[in-house]
Amino acid sequence: MPQKSVCVYCGSRNGANPAYARAASQFGTLLAEADWRLVYGAGDVGLMGEVARAAQAAGGDTFGVIPVHLLQREVGKTDLSRFIVTETMHERKKVMIMNADAVVVMPGGPGSLDELFEALTWRQLGLHDKPILVMNIDGYWDSLHTLLERVIGQGFADTSLSDFITWVASPSEAMTCLRRLI
Under the banding of pLDDT at 50, 70 and 90, the label for residue 1 is confident
Averaged pLDDT for residues 51-73: 95
Has residue 71 got a pLDDT over 90? no
Indicate the burial class of 128 (C-beta count within 10 angstroms; 0-12, 13-18, 19 or more): middle
- Model confidence at 73: pLDDT above 90: no
- Residue count of the chain: 182
Distance of alpha carbon 102 from alpha carbon 174, whole angstroms? 11
For the 5-181 domain, the top CATH level (class) is alpha beta
H or E segment and range at residue 38: strand 37-40
Mean pLDDT of the chain: 96
pTM exceeding the 0.75 threshold for the entire prediction: yes
pLDDT digits (tens, 9 = 90+) for 85-108: 999 999 999 999 999 999 999 999
